[in-house]
Structure 1
Amino acid sequence: MFLTSGPEGEKKIYPTHNQWTSDGKWVIFQSQRVPGEAMAVNEETGDIVQVTEGGFTGMLSVARQSMKLYYMRKPIKGNQAPGAIEVVEVNLENVFSDSEAGKLKPASAYERICGITPPEMMAGGDMALDGGEEWVWFRVGKEEALKHLPEGVEISESFGPRNMGAGPAGIAGMNIYTGETKYVVSVPFQVGHIQTNPWVPGQIVFCWETGGKSPQRTWVVHADGTGLRPLYPESAYEWITHEAVISPDEVAFAIMGHRPIPGLEDESRPKATDVKGANPGQETAWGPSGTREKPTGLGIVNIHTREVTIAGQIPYGSGFWHVHGSPDRRFAVGDNFERELYLINRETNEMMLLTAGHKTTAADHVHPTFSPDGTKIQIQSAMISEDGRAMDICIVPVPEEWLKK
């Protein structure tokens, strides 16, 4: 079911973050209907309402315990020094109620400025709302990170052909009620995709971002800065990517099998030249990782026991690329380079092709994300767009026969 359609183009929130409002009725997304702003669409009525004004930076964080939305933006009032960022709260319940009544007020009536970050932090990036919903966590700049980096730690250089991954970087936070800021941790590499465990306050998951294969992709740390460690310790031959917290103690991730084994021809494997920019990671400069000489597939790691299972693997092409799972641990979902969407029953190990035909010319990838109740999956797709690029928000239900099993 497509919730949006049109030439403007939409973009869903990344799978590391919540997509639905706490009442389960609205999906939040970014839209070019009003460039640079976020919108909400009601699954039942199809109503679309603008929910930000003044733009935003980084990731939209939709609360699970209240009808609130949190995001970062450059201060729109006052003479703030460069580098300062304000954290904004939006009361979605009031926005939707007034919109339905046709009595919308100025944006300031629905917004609350939680606080403004110190300019020297150079805050930004993938802001994430803590599981306790009292703090938000975000990246800081290299100079601030260097201040907190333990003495003697060697700073990482760029890794791979995209010249990304160099450090240092760090994570800090803001209390959304008091505006207090605090520092969490510094690491010697580039930080990407900060996310939280919605069920465990104070647990942060993030990655070493290189634009491709990382020496050690996934990391976990407590909000007090303790417990920093690799989430899934990987080897040089493993290409780990697109991690997402899916249940109280689990993180799903892709162990990519998208590259041909050196010296062997494999015509079933899609090449980066099929559609320009559509299928990344084929460059030899990435090293030996990402082939199927070793086990690959949709991996799930238990945060506490550190045990890993492979939920499944597509037996052709790139294998799984972007992955997610239902909070009740029943299902996992993933896409591939062909933009096909596969569902896995984790209890029976059955695998089902849910959708196909999502164009590789699209402006972005499918990025599947399960709903909190585990009954449906949100994706973005250019399937019905006239230009083959503009994306729309789409809901794919878990088949009724699988829900009844």
Structure 2
Amino acid sequence: MHRTAISRRQFIQRAAAGSAGMLAAGGLAANAFGASGAGEFSIPRDIYPSYVDEKTGATVLNLTPGDHADSITYQTHPMWVDGGRYFMFYSDRSGNGSRPHLLEVATGTVKPVPLNDYSRSTLSWTTPRLYFINKDGIGAVDVVGGFKGEEPARMFGKVPEVFTSLQGTISLDADQKSLYVGGIVGENDRSAIYAVDTETGAAREVTAFDFKVGHIQASPFEPGLIMFCHETGGDAPQRTWRVRADGSDFGPVYKETFDEWVTHEVWWSKDRVVFTIWPYDEVHTL
């Protein structure tokens, strides 16, 4: 894969410039990558605390005010729903620990997603469905329907029994027909990725390998293409990997050298990913 290097400052400036344009206009344009649904809407500024960023001039809105432990979805997975009209985040504001919550942006109303229990979850990029693992079961719920009290969760599958423990994230294929699940299947962190059919629950192995799997990311642009990482909690000898849903084309996404610490990879477009090359201290240690 061809590498194009930009500095952290350049990346932040480019991202800030794009977001500043949207917020300065008083609205947020939705697209297929990052917000399910379509259309354009305006965020009502009068109901959210805000400030103006000194560097960019952008108005920054606090969508989740209050004394709660709130966190956003990791940057590898979607968090906006229905063209940006809803925003999903995790919070302890409803009790029972951190749970997924849905914010109705137009009103500021927040409600917990109606799940009794879950360990992993991911939104669809294009629909309001949240896919989740509940103990050994796999299911889905329409979060907007649940917000309105209209849509119960639907269980459609089981976690493959081959896993001794689940690892990393779950991720939905771009065609929404398969949910990818990863975990440990053998000694010395031998791992596998399985595809679970979102209608029938049938599970099949995609690939297996001799390192701990992490950050499974199905491409939101191309069905059947999966990126994942060698998870070490630090620097891996080769961080980023890819595979097709049929098990073919297994190999590095970006083949790194010994002096590169690659991390925080995420899909950027159909044929590009963005990642960080982390700086080392004076002693090059893993």
Q: TM-score, normalization: structure 2?
A: 0.73
Equivalent position of 1:45 in the other structure: 107
Structure with higher RCO (Cα < 8 A, 6+ apart): 1
Q: Which amino acid aligns with 1:121?
A: F
Aligned length: 223
Where structure 2 has 5 or more consecutive residues not aligned to the other structure, the ranges are 1-60
Q: Which 4+ runs in 1 deviate beyond 2 A?
A: 5-8, 117-125, 140-143, 259-262
Alignment of 1:79-228 (within 5 A): 85-96=136-147, 98=148, 104=149, 109-122=151-164, 124-125=166-167, 126-143=169-186, 166-228=188-250
| CA gap 1:194/1:209 in 2 versus in 1, 3 angstroms | same
Please tell me the root mean square deviation across aligned C-alpha atoms, in Å. 1.8
Q: For 2:209 and 2:252, how far apart are their aligned partners in 1? A: 12
Equivalent position of 1:33 in the other structure: 93
* Contact 1:37–1:52 (CA under 8 A) maintained in structure 2: no
Q: Which amino acid aligns with 2:86?
A: W
Q: Which amino acid aligns with 2:269?
A: S
**TM-fit CA distance, 1:91:** 1.5
Q: For 1:170 and 1:61, how far apart are their aligned partners in 2? A: 19
| CA gap 1:27/1:57 in 2 versus in 1, 3 angstroms | same
Equivalent position of 2:133 in the other structure: 72
Question: Percent identity, aligned pairs only?
Answer: 30
| Partner secondary structure for residue 189 of structure 1 | coil
Per-residue displacement from partner, 1:11-45 (whole Å, max 9, x unpaired)?
11111111111432111111111324210112232
1:19 aligns with 2:41: no
Q: For 1:5 and 1:24, how far apart are their aligned partners in 2? A: 18
Equivalent position of 1:255 in the other structure: 277
| Partner secondary structure for residue 23 of structure 1 | helix
Per-residue displacement from partner, 1:145-182 (whole Å, max 9, x unpaired)?
x7xxxxxxxxxxxxxxxxxxx53111002111111111
Equivalent position of 2:21 in the other structure: none
| Partner secondary structure for residue 95 of structure 1 | helix
**TM-fit CA distance, 1:55:** 2.3
1:231 aligns with 2:253: yes
**TM-fit CA distance, 1:123:** 5.9
Per-residue displacement from partner, 1:84-132 (whole Å, max 9, x unpaired)?
x211111123223x2xxxxx36xxx521002112433346331101111
Where structure 1 has 5 or more consecutive residues not aligned to the other structure, the ranges are 75-84, 99-103, 147-165, 263-283, 287-405
**TM-fit CA distance, 1:7:** 2.5
Of 262, 265, 275, the residue aligned with 1:240 is: 262
| Partner secondary structure for residue 29 of structure 1 | strand
| CA gap 1:142/1:41 in 2 versus in 1, 3 angstroms | same
Q: For 2:114 and 2:270, how far apart are their aligned partners in 1? A: 30
Q: TM-score, normalization: structure 1?
A: 0.52
* Contact 1:123–1:138 (CA under 8 A) maintained in structure 2: no
| Partner secondary structure for residue 139 of structure 2 | strand
Task: Please say which structure displays the higher CA radius of gyration.
Answer: 1
